[in-house]
Every structure is written in structure tokens, then in C-alpha cells.
Amino acid sequence: MAADTRDRIVFSAMTLFATKGFASTSIADILAAANVNSGSLYHFFPGKQDVLVAVLEAYRDGIHPQLLDPAWKGVRDPIERVFALLRHYRRHLRTTECTYGCPIGSIALELHEPDPAVRQLLSANFKGWIDAIEQCLLDAGDRLPADLDRRALATLALSTMEGGVMLSRTDRTLTGFDDAVRMFRDYVSRLEESVTPPRRARRARVARA
């Protein structure tokens, strides 16, 4: 089956790149994991680089179904969604004993001179993430200051996650991630409080509005 084989290659490569990195994953690794022969892979892809392109396209196209929908399941409040997404990464770190973090970030820092297609796709992946969080912050409406740069705050959210993942992966402890996220949450709380000085049950009331 043609489509199936291609998908198996992309999926196997996605997993391997996330686990071992791009350079450290050999074509032979991908072939073994996908149970495919060399000829088939090179039938679908001109080379290894193009497999990476397909993987990054899969991440980009899968951001809603694969990442956001699961992370936001049962979470409606837009600001809570921001932290639900961060919690999703935390869960990922925890279940892998702090070895896997964000695959896009890892590839972004691993490749120092990516070809244009790869770089653009990495960029598109980050953009999709920031767009989604920016939308949450826009949906938060007047719970946040009117003059707040919501895209910049979404960018800080991504930085918090990526930096936290970097630290936690290095230390094999959740401390770095948790510290960064806790401070980010404190910042967002202060932004909320700057609009509406804290009163009991305020959040619930606004959320219902």
C-alpha cells in the first residue's frame, strides 16, 4: 500500500527524530522502525532532508488534532487553556523521565544551517503555536489589560515552555520547567489583577460572561 508505506515512514521518522535527533537518526533506523526497504523510502523521498520536511509538515498540520485538542479537552476558559497546554508539556516530560520535550524546539536548535524549506516549516510550527495562544489571550478579552501586546505575551509563553523544557531535559528534573511556568503564571495573574483587583469569585463570574 503506497499511502500506508509513506505514512509509516513519516510516523517512524517523527518518533525517531524526537527521540534521537535528526542527525543521529540514520536512514537505516527509519527503515527498521517503519519496516520498509531502502528502495521504498527513496521512491517517496529524494533524500533524508525531505523526510524531515514531511515530518515538519505533519507537525504543522497536526497542531490542532494532535496537540491542542487533547491538551484543551475539558478546558474552556481561554486563560486556563494557556496553562493547560503548558501542563501538557509537563506531562510529556514527566512520562518520559524528562527526556522528551518539544520536538520542534530540539530540531530548531540542532540544525544550524537548515535549508529554506526546513527553516520555514520550523517557523510555521512556532507560528501556529503562538497563534493559538494569542487567540486564547484575545478571547480573554477585558480580563487582560487593553493595551497588552497579546502576541508578545504568547511569545513569552512559548519561551517559557521551551526554556523550561531545555532545563528539565538537562537536569532530568521538573524543577526548571515548574519554576519557569510558575513565574509566568504569576505574571499573567498580575496582569489580570491589574484590570480587576482581586475579589472573591471574580474569575468565575468573568468566565461565565
Partner DNA sequence: GTCTATAACCCGATAGAC
Partner DNA sequence: GTCTATCGGGTTATAGAC
Q: Number of helices (H) and strands (E), helices first, in the chain?
A: 11, 0
Instruction: Judge whether 71 and 85 are in contact, CB under 8 Å.
Output: yes
Choose, by CB under 7 A, the member of 15, 19, 40, 155 that binds DNA. Answer: 40
Choose, by CB under 7 A, the member of 16, 36, 118, 157 that binds DNA. Answer: 36
Helix (H, G, I), strand (E, B) or coil at 197: coil
Distance CA 100, CA 89 (A): 9
Question: Which of the choices a second copy, DNA, none does residue 161 contact, using the CB cut-off of 5 to 8 A by kind?
Answer: a second copy
Give the orientation angle of helix 116-139 with respect to helix 48-61, to 10 degrees: 10
Question: Which of the choices a second copy, DNA, none does residue 21 contact, using the CB cut-off of 5 to 8 A by kind?
Answer: a second copy
Instruction: Judge whether 16 and 51 are in contact, CB under 8 Å.
Output: no
Residues in touch with a second copy (CB under 8 A): 19-21, 23-24, 99, 101, 105-106, 108-113, 119, 122-123, 126, 149, 151-153, 155-156, 158-164, 166-167, 169-172, 176, 179-180, 182-184, 186-187, 190-191, 194
Task: Report how far Cα 136 is from the mean position of its chain's Cα atoms.
Answer: 15
SS3 content of the chain, % helix, strand, coil (to 5): 75, 0, 25
Helix (H) or strand (E) holding 26: none
Q: Which residue number, 9 or 153, has a Cβ lying nearer to DNA? A: 9
Question: Which of the choices a second copy, DNA, none does residue 196 contact, using the CB cut-off of 5 to 8 A by kind?
Answer: none
Question: Which of the choices DNA, a second copy, none does residue 80 contact, using the CB cut-off of 5 to 8 A by kind?
Answer: none
Residue 27 is a binding residue for DNA (CB under 7 A): yes
Q: Please identify, among the stretches 29-37, 69-77, 118-126, 131-139, the one whose residues bind DNA according to the rule CB under 7 A.
A: 29-37
Residue 110 is a binding residue for DNA (CB under 7 A): no
